[in-house]
Structure 1
Amino acid sequence: MQKLRFLLIILFSGFVYGNDIDTTHTTLSRKEILKLANEASEWLHESNFEKSFSASRIVLHYAFAKEDNFLIAKSYNTIGANYEQLSEYDKAISYYKKGLVYAMKAKNDTVKNWINNNLGNIYCFEKRDYKLGISYLDESLRFYKKNKDSTKIVLTKLNIAWAYFDIKLFEEGKPYLEFVNQNSEKFLTKPNWVILNVLNGMYYGYVQKHEQATASFLKAIALGIAEKNRTDLSITYQEYSNYLFKIGDYKKAYDYLIKYNKLSKEIQNDEKLKRAQRVGVNVELDEYKRKVESITAVNVLQNQSLKKSKIIVVLFIVVIGILLLQLYTLYKNYIFKKNANKELTLTNAELIVAKQKADEASRLKSQFVSTITHELRTPLYGVVGITNMLLEEHKELENSPHLNSLKFSARYLLSLINDVLQINKIEENRIVLEDMTFNISDEIEMIITSLSFIAKNHNNTIEVEIDPAIPELLIGDKLRFSQIVINLFSNALKFTHDGKVSFFATLIKIDGNQYFIEFKIKDTGIGIANEDLEKVFDKFTQVGRKDIDYQGTGLGLPIVKKLLELFDSTVSVKSELGKGTIFSFTIPFEYDPQKTNEIINNIEVDLTDSQFFKVLVVDDNNINRLVTQKTIEKRNYKCEVVGSGKDAIELLKNAQFDVILMDINMPEMNGFEASQIIRAMGITTPIIALTAFSKDEITEKALSVGMNDIIVKPYEAPILFKVINQLILKR
């Protein structure tokens, strides 16, 4: 849930600067720089993010030149607050923490506590790390109590109460709320009364004082409308909807949920946010520029030292020694290759015969693997499901290394199975690219988040650079594109330790509405030998294992190569042992705003969260029945389970359900036979096949017997409920 926090920034009036001010030929006094820093804070308060970003850049330029730690910390705090308002929370945290470092250098408790307050809010309300967030807020509260700053004390306690209420710890948050209520008239500004009334409504709802709860929520709505505070008003709509749903007033809860969704969409679509995001990139470029200048200064010093005669003589001797060593190595290589060629000529015929045998063995192996993977999915569904149930029902096991290892191993096994099936599908031309609208930056951010576990284990840092000339929304098969990037990115992280993995996206050509974008994944890992560069694209092949056992099937890069062929593209690789590897490829994506809007408008929206359905589960496996039943009942749906197709048919003679989840591979009567009989009985209830078979293998058969859709096990719960809701709505 998006929240508006009380960002601690100092607001003063002053002169106005344009977006692009030349700082090369102007000099400002510290008083003028401080005035501009205050202007940046005021523009942030007015939601003029573009001007706030630009002014903060100028302040940073002069502050670094003057080595003024206070101004640096203050500007970083403002930049972080801008990013927080733009929902770029990771960037906001990064700049807040930079500001905290310089605030400590400046020994300025005031700016340090601005940042502590902002970090507390963002960790509580956006990152959901309440323990860390409340610790930052408590640190700020101690400072304000020491300085007897009553206004800041009230605001901070309001935030802490809000944080506790967010995680349903109402008793812990109650003392803070009572304090704010007692001092609100004197120290709380009118805009903040909206949130105060929301919190009062939440607490009254918790203690079942429904008249007071309703009155508080309605007062918050009236204040939000009067103050024209859209963000607080959207929060009020959402919390009031949650309360109404809790007390059983579903119609009114739905009405306020619609108001919340509409207002949230208006806020997100604000055009000035988009323009400010582009300006924000320049702030990061300044950071990179400062790093480059620092490195350049070091290189200048090194070049000057090399001019000394003694070092030149030593270098000359070293070069002569290297040349002599290379000559000797070339001679030894010549002798070795001469002898090796003789042996290769003699064994070439034997290798041809051996390759033929290996090809036949590989064909038989692929056929066996394709068959056995279908059988592995069913028990794997049970393992993943039971693991998730244990984590949900026993919160004390959430940090158990054994349970987390079990969950990781099960998902890793599923990944291996999917890789094997994926390569077979591609080779049999069963994959067709689809047109979907997507944002490259969003896709890359999700991929990096999903792979952060590998990066952390290998102590790697990740760098991303995306050409700002690339349009925000493109059209193409984002799923296949993401699969390509995930395989290359995960490989780079696995084969890199204590290093850096970089991702670059560059627009290189525009042809009509086709935008040709070059992607590069660069790492500083172990590298690949020249003789192995072509082998890495062979199935079931891995190079560079030696002393380290890298996990994997050897299918990642072959899948990348074949998926790129679907895009009419190829992948190239450059590598040097001990220094790293670069994979690059180019894909043309379509840019058509009108077509993009049509795709977005055709996306089905699930509005059935507040409805309840009755579900019948048919599965002969006890563990799978349990997992599916728990998943469905967690959604508060009613669920009944049977162990065979015959039992399902008998039950349906006297009972009605909203949807049927049917296993395929069952003894006596399989899912196809049971579905055919159910349709013959005149029952039109939607039937969803839950199966371990690949979807394209059974689609034709499933449709012919009257099934409505197919979900492959193991599956994610949101996908299951989305299919259920869509089928029921169509019916």
Structure 2
Amino acid sequence: MLVQRILIFILFSCSVYGNTLDTIKSSLPRKEILKLAKEASDLLHESNFEKSFAASRIVLRYAYEKGDNYLIAKSYNTIGANYEQLSEYDKAILYYKKGLSFAYKAKNDTIKNWIYDNLGSLYCFEKKNYEEGIEYLKESLRFNEENKDTTKIVTTKLKIAWAYFDIKLFNEGIEYLDFVNQNKSQYVDNSKVVVLNMLNGMYYGNRNKHAMAESYFLQAIELGIQENNKTDLSYSYQEYSNYLFKIGAYKKAYEYLVKYNQLSTDIQNSENIKRAKRVGVNVELDDYKRKVDSITAVNILQNHSLRKSKIIVVMFIVVIVVLLLQMYTLYKNYLFKKKSNKELTLTNAELIVAKQKADEASHLKSQFISTITHELRTPLYGVVGITNMLLEEHKELENSPHLNSLKFSARYLLSLINDVLQINKIEENRIVLEELTFNIEDEIEMIITSLSFIAKNHNNAIDVELDPNIPELLIGDKLRFSQILINLISNALKFTHDGKVVISAKLVKIEGVKHFIEFKIKDNGIGIAKEDQEKVFDTFTQVGRRDIDYQGTGLGLPIVKKLLELFDSTVAIESKLGEGTTFTFTIGFDFDPQKTTAIINNIEVDLSESQVFKILVVDDNSINRLVTQKTIEKRNYKCEVVGSGKEAIELVKNKNFDAILMDINMPEMNGFEASKIIRDMGVKTPIIALTAFNKDEITEEALSVGMNDIIVKPFETTVLFKVINQLIYKG
């Protein structure tokens, strides 16, 4: 660091002895440069991006040589417009803003207006940053109104109306659209009439005036085809598809969505754009070259000064002395590090041994949790199943407090087991996020419905605030996302009485297809003391139980924290005793219509019919056999039960079954061994593992012996019959 400071001091001191370079004078008259700048702009409008880029580069070079701020601003504006046409939006913004800075230096309102208009259009319709884009467009509108240029006023107001309509602010945008409609006969040409009809279609579609909306959309599409206006035609296809989807005409909406995707692809893949991208790189290289040339010129001056300066000798001696001192310091540091490394090597060896012991302990813990949860799930399956059977077969016991308490206790214990397993799976990095398409509003509504009993018991109201800018269909792991919301909302309801819980979702950022949404769960309940706010995320920790016994495992918030880490997110807490608590987190979900369509097309549909199937149940536990048999026979299926794998093999030799439900943990011969023998016999009947083991632990072995699927006990009957029917129909 000291050496660097001394070198900088030397260069600064010597620079006073340098000579200035002669100013480079352009050999081209300004009139010719202006003519070339106009040619670059004309080539852009003709979509000849390659030649437009090349001409703009030449203009920019001469403009810098002359120091002509107007020409520099105009060139940067043309280059930015070329990049915008190539969908290189970040580069376009960079060059537009460069141009704007030189336009202010040139004090030229016309070029300012061009650039404000270009920036506004780009931010609104490409970057989807409508707030900033509308501000730029309004600034452009101000210039146009001062100049009383009605043609440009109409064009700018058309864009502002479009921007407001894109974000569903129809009341704010209608005044601008009305102005355009009033002046369309005189100032709206064929290049704008497609968009005007499309916006009228959007407005009347929002007002549910379907006949008018349909008419305007079809006029926009017809004119777009006639004028071969591919860009505006693609927008018309897209907005018409959105409108059709809104009114429930899904098939027709899909057809126009396909047309939009095809036309967008054609526009993007044109040969002119591919060639122009290569040429466009040269513009950036010119910028860098100018910077390098500038630095080189300074270096030449400094070197020339150093050669003439006597003080350089003294300075170099000082540098050499400093370097020698630094070398000595480095040598001393080397000796010190050598000693430290030896100590670190010994410490690392101890750490390796400690890590091995920790890994072994972690493995034993996982094994213990797996065994315990399996042993608990097996009797729980019987308890839950028999309780349901008693309630169904003896309707007079439906209101029995004893049976209902038994059912609640069993489900509460099952919830505790699932929470412990969830924590264990996350800690061992055994959870991989899935990609499913879902609607945030639907997920929140389902969660609120499932938690309505808690809200009712505590006399709480639930409000939902959703940002309209959030896309309707997103892609992500909706199961893990729902687990996060369920834990936070149930917590808020549990610790709030006679109050309100507010669930809000707001779109805060867009990066490519990734849409970042901020969620807030706010209540006006008992609140959490400041000293306890960090503790609530510790496993099995509960606070605020001094006055009232709030039931719970103490695992809800730790699960929330760990699941959010899988989404590369964190949870923030704001709380005050007696006033309530707010939990805030942000998750990025993908918005990709093409990928969404592919996911929806691949969803398996339950083809269950009223057909009667014959099912074989293999389970060594007599209570579990009875529960499973009753569950199956209640569906009017035929069912046979056996208590071991050997009995199942003998039975399969002589009888045909549509499906086999196979327990895993059985004496003498387990379910894996029995399944392998059945497959070796050539039997193709679907085999479903019906087990208390965690699914992740046995999936690989189950597939290797020929099992078709796994269902974990206790299970929902709808899940069981869905899997049975899907496997039978696939076969």
- In the alignment, does 2:699 pair up with 1:706? no
CA contact (8 A) 1:397 1:403 kept: no
Say which of 550, 560, 566 aligns to 1:414: 566
- In the alignment, does 2:425 pair up with 1:374? yes
CA contact (8 A) 2:194 2:224 kept: yes
Q: Which residue of 2 aligns with 1:106?
A: 106
CA contact (8 A) 1:374 1:692 kept: no
Which structure has more RCO (C-alpha within 8 Å, separation ≥ 6)? 2
CA contact (8 A) 1:384 1:410 kept: no
How far 1:222 sits from its partner (Å)?
A: 1.2
- TM-score of the pair, normalised by structure 1: 0.52
CA contact (8 A) 2:480 2:563 kept: no
CA contact (8 A) 1:89 1:122 kept: yes
CA contact (8 A) 2:119 2:136 kept: yes
* Cα distance in 2 between the residues matched to 1:162 and 1:647: 62
* Cα distance in 1 between the residues matched to 2:480 and 2:595: 32
Q: After superposition, where does 1:81-120 map in structure 2 within 5 Å?
A: 81-120=81-120
CA contact (8 A) 2:426 2:563 kept: no
- In the alignment, does 2:355 pair up with 1:362? yes
How far 1:294 sits from its partner (Å)?
A: 1.5
Q: Which residue of 2 aligns with 1:394?
A: 504
Q: 1:378 to 1:30 in 2, by over 3 A?
A: same
Q: After superposition, where does 1:417-436 map in structure 2 within 5 Å?
A: none
User: Which amino acid in structure 2 is aligned with residue 244 of structure 1?
Assistant: L
3-state SS of paired residue (2:27)? coil
**Which moved further from structure 2: 24-33 or 37-46?**
24-33
How far 1:207 sits from its partner (Å)?
A: 1.1
Q: Which residue of 2 aligns with 1:161?
A: 161
3-state SS of paired residue (1:128)? coil
Q: Which residue of 2 aligns with 1:127?
A: 127
CA contact (8 A) 1:195 1:236 kept: yes
Tell me the matched-pair count: 451
How far 1:383 sits from its partner (Å)?
A: 7.5
Deviations 1:197-254 (A, max 9, x none): 0001111111111111111111111111110111111111121122122222222222
CA contact (8 A) 1:241 1:252 kept: yes
* Cα distance in 1 between the residues matched to 2:186 and 2:334: 90
* Cα distance in 1 between the residues matched to 2:337 and 2:278: 57
Q: Which residue of 1 aligns with 2:318?
A: 318
How far 1:138 sits from its partner (Å)?
A: 0.6
Q: After superposition, where does 1:497-646 map in structure 2 within 5 Å?
A: 606-607=597-598
Deviations 1:588-629 (A, max 9, x none): xxxxxxxxxxxxxxx99945769999799xxxxxxxxxxxxx
3-state SS of paired residue (1:208)? coil
How far 1:329 sits from its partner (Å)?
A: 4.7
Q: Which residue of 1 aligns with 2:42?
A: 42
User: Which amino acid in structure 2 is aligned with residue 53 of structure 1?
Assistant: F
Q: 1:213 to 1:608 in 2, by over 3 A?
A: farther
Q: 1:387 to 1:412 in 2, by over 3 A?
A: closer
* Cα distance in 1 between the residues matched to 2:507 and 2:600: 29
* Cα distance in 1 between the residues matched to 2:256 and 2:335: 84
Deviations 1:383-406 (A, max 9, x none): 755667999951469697999999
Q: 1:122 to 1:367 in 2, by over 3 A?
A: farther
- In the alignment, does 2:255 pair up with 1:255? yes
Q: 1:357 to 1:87 in 2, by over 3 A?
A: same
Q: 1:117 to 1:207 in 2, by over 3 A?
A: same
* Cα distance in 2 between the residues matched to 1:40 and 1:255: 39
- In the alignment, does 2:142 pair up with 1:142? yes
Larger radius of gyration: 2
Q: After superposition, where does 1:711-722 map in structure 2 within 5 Å?
A: none
CA contact (8 A) 1:150 1:187 kept: yes
How far 1:30 sits from its partner (Å)?
A: 1.1
Deviations 1:64-97 (A, max 9, x none): 1111111111111111111111111111111111
Q: Which residue of 1 aligns with 2:578?
A: none
Q: Which residue of 2 aligns with 1:281?
A: 281
* Cα distance in 1 between the residues matched to 2:188 and 2:94: 30
Unaligned runs of 5+ in 2: 1-23, 367-422, 434-476, 490-501, 509-516, 523-533, 535-556, 570-587, 589-593, 608-626, 638-664, 666-670, 676-683, 712-725
3-state SS of paired residue (1:275)? helix
- In the alignment, does 2:2 pair up with 1:28? no
3-state SS of paired residue (1:394)? strand
Q: 1:397 to 1:159 in 2, by over 3 A?
A: closer
Q: Which residue of 1 aligns with 2:459?
A: none
How far 1:654 sits from its partner (Å)?
A: 9.0
User: Which amino acid in structure 2 is aligned with residue 374 of structure 1?
Assistant: K
3-state SS of paired residue (2:127)? coil
* Cα distance in 1 between the residues matched to 2:70 and 2:730: 61
**Which moved further from structure 2: 362-371 or 254-263?**
362-371
How far 1:175 sits from its partner (Å)?
A: 0.6
Q: Which residue of 1 aligns with 2:204?
A: 204
CA contact (8 A) 1:375 1:692 kept: no
Unaligned runs of 5+ in 1: 1-23, 418-452, 454-602, 617-644, 656-666, 677-681, 710-725
How far 1:373 sits from its partner (Å)?
A: 6.1
Q: Which residue of 1 aligns with 2:413?
A: none
Q: Which residue of 2 aligns with 1:300?
A: 300
How far 1:410 sits from its partner (Å)?
A: 5.2
How far 1:302 sits from its partner (Å)?
A: 2.3
CA contact (8 A) 1:374 1:693 kept: no
User: Which amino acid in structure 2 is aligned with residue 299 of structure 1?
Assistant: N
How far 1:358 sits from its partner (Å)?
A: 4.0
- TM-score of the pair, normalised by structure 2: 0.52
* Cα distance in 2 between the residues matched to 1:410 and 1:402: 18
User: Which amino acid in structure 1 is aligned with residue 708 of structure 2?
Assistant: G
Deviations 1:44-65 (A, max 9, x none): 1111111111111111111111
3-state SS of paired residue (1:280)? helix
How far 1:316 sits from its partner (Å)?
A: 3.6
Q: 1:148 to 1:57 in 2, by over 3 A?
A: same
* Cα distance in 2 between the residues matched to 1:200 and 1:651: 59
Deviations 1:7-58 (A, max 9, x none): xxxxxxxxxxxxxxxxx99932211111111111111111111111111111
* Cα distance in 2 between the residues matched to 1:244 and 1:27: 61
Q: 1:310 to 1:31 in 2, by over 3 A?
A: same
* Cα distance in 2 between the residues matched to 1:611 and 1:149: 54
User: Which amino acid in structure 2 is aligned with residue 359 of structure 1?
Assistant: I
CA RMSD of aligned residues (A): 5.2
User: Which amino acid in structure 1 is aligned with residue 143 of structure 2?
Assistant: F
Q: Which residue of 2 aligns with 1:224?
A: 224
How far 1:317 sits from its partner (Å)?
A: 3.5
* Cα distance in 1 between the residues matched to 2:204 and 2:630: 46
How far 1:652 sits from its partner (Å)?
A: 10
Q: 1:253 to 1:299 in 2, by over 3 A?
A: same
Q: Which residue of 1 aligns with 2:236?
A: 236
